[in-house]
């Protein structure tokens, strides 16, 4: 078969790869994308999207169990775990098919197979039948993503010890569950299973739950999770898993003392590892460091014409970071003017547990450590009419400003729908807004977003409703 030539070849069709491919095609570049498994990658098929579908089912179940507080009646509320999972998979299937349509619409050539760099400007595609085809590209973008990290002695077996995949496709509803790790993935699964009635223990090696979040928000999250019945163990480490016939005894080291906890299932959520192996990096000058591909500010590697975006190129490991990185990368090598490198400090992060957590920019501690003199504003959900009307009075919006310039340094929230609200602060940061513009912005009433306004006012001792 004659070699096919392209302007752009993208290896991996996750949220970084397929977006980069579409943008390249929009700019008139002949584009191909190679995907070994599912269009949409881990995020759409096994991560961001299906977990949100699961969590939505849990949220509705929670509301039904509290119907009386809304003046409603719902008796003998129950759930069908299989149907919850089926709905989640159907959502992913629908969106994966949609990406296939978008790629076709934009005339992106899709290769079903495994892509490897084979030398200057060439990529080998190994198809499912093991046949191979070589294609060439002036620009090659690596978007191979990442996989779950596995710790020695805590290896998942798919039956008693789960990764995120098994946790999304449970063959039974565990009565008890231990989650290793309290990052976004671990906490979301802990929240899902706890809401459905499982006895959940979360073990975190750091000194607080959700350790990347602002310390104040982290403390409020722990208080809320424990109020729901979760057991949270911080400064703790699972040192051994002792498997029984249908349960696991977890040996947890807390301050030198080992506590044994027996549960039906364990979920390992201890981070991710970039997929840099077996993709042909040895055939290039591209460098790796700490398990990820080293890139410049426009995603370029040390190999001319080869780029890396998304999880494979390092933190933050977020789908929206990968997508935006892909667009910047393509627009830069396509020659567009006014292409700006990504500000990784202005990327919002969201956790869709109950309650939700969202943040952007510097935490209070990091702002101080960076030498800023700061002003901090806070506004509680209890002071907001819409939150009370929704029956969601627990939460906080916290804002951090540079005291000298008024620059918005960070925003941190916990409570209902904060994952939607955080984008307002993201836009503010992109526009390099100060407290003055935010104060002069009119927020609609009654909305949860009014708390964003009040938090800004609070930082300058001008809050009206608290």
Which residues are the active-site residues? 445
Q: Which helix (H) or strand (E) holds 372?
A: none
Show the tokens assigned to 444.
């609609």
CB 404 within 8 A of CB 373: yes
The CA dihedral of 163, 168, 169, 171, to the nearest 10 degrees, is 80
Whole-angstrom distance, CA of residue 395 vs CA of residue 224: 9
State whether residue 320 is helix, strand or coil: helix
User: Strand 272-274 relative to strand 146-148: parallel, antiparallel, unpaired?
Assistant: antiparallel
d(C-alpha 401, C-alpha 64), whole Å: 40
DSSP 141-176: EE---EEE---TT----SSSEE-HHHHHS-SS--SE
Instruction: State the residue for tokens 């995020």.
Output: 43
d(CA 184, CA 235): 18
d(C-alpha 22, C-alpha 332), whole Å: 15
CA 423 to chain centre: 15
DSSP H or E run through 346: none
Phi and psi torsions of 52, nearest 5°:
-65, -35
> For residue 278, how many other CB atoms are within 10 A of its CB?
10
Residues in the chain: 466
Q: Which of 127, 101, 122 is nearest to 40 (CA)?
A: 101
């Amino acid at each position: 078969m004659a070699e096919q030539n392209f302007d752009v070849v993208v290896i991996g069709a996750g949220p970084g790869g397929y977006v980069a491919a579409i943008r390249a095609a929009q700019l008139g570049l002949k584009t191909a994308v190679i995907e070994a498994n599912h269009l949409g990658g881990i995020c759409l098929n096994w991560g961001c999207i299906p977990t949100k579908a699961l969590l939505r089912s849990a949220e509705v179940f929670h509301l039904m169990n509290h119907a009386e507080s809304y003046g409603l009646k719902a008796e003998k509320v129950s759930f069908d775990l299989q149907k919850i999972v089926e709905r989640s998979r159907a959502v992913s299937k629908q969106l994966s098919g949609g990406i296939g349509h978008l790629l076709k619409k934009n005339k992106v050539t899709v290769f079903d197979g495994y892509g490897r760099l084979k030398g200057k400007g060439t990529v080998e595609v190994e198809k499912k039948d093991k046949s191979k085809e070589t294609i060439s590209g002036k620009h090659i973008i690596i978007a191979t993503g990442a996989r779950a990290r596995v710790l020695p002695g805590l290896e998942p077996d798919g039956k008693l010890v789960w990764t995120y995949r098994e946790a999304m496709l449970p063959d039974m509803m565990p009565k008890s569950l231990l989650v290793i790790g309290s990052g976004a993935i671990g906490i979301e699964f802990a929240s899902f299973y706890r809401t459905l009635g499982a006895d959940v223990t979360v073990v975190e090696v750091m000194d607080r739950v959700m350790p990347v979040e602002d310390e104040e928000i982290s403390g409020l999250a722990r208080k809320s999770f424990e109020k729901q019945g979760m057991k949270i163990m911080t400064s703790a480490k699972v040192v051994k898993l002792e498997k029984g016939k249908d349960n696991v005894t977890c040996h947890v080291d807390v301050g030198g003392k080992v506590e044994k906890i027996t549960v039906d299932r364990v979920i390992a959520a201890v981070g991710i590892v970039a997929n840099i192996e077996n993709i042909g990096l040895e055939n290039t000058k591209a460098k790796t460091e700490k398990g990820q591909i080293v890139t410049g500010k426009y995603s370029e590697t040390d190999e001319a014409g080869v780029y890396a975006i998304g999880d494979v190129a390092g933190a933050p490991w977020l789908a929206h970071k990968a997508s935006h990185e892909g667009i910047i990368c393509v627009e830069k090598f396509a020659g567009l003017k006014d292409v700006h490198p990504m500000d990784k400090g202005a990327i919002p992060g969201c956790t869709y547990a109950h309650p939700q957590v969202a943040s952007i920019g510097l935490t209070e501690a990091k702002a101080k450590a960076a030498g800023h003199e700061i002003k901090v504003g806070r506004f509680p959900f209890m002071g907001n009419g819409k939150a009370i009307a929704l029956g969601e009075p627990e939460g906080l919006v916290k804002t951090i400003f540079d005291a000298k310039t008024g620059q918005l340094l960070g925003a941190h929230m916990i409570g209902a729908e904060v994952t939607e609200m955080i984008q307002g602060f993201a836009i503010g940061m992109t526009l390099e807004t100060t407290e003055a513009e935010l104060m002069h912005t009119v927020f609609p009433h009654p909305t949860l977003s009014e708390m964003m306004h009040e938090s800004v006012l609070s930082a300058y001792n001008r809050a009206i409703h608290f």
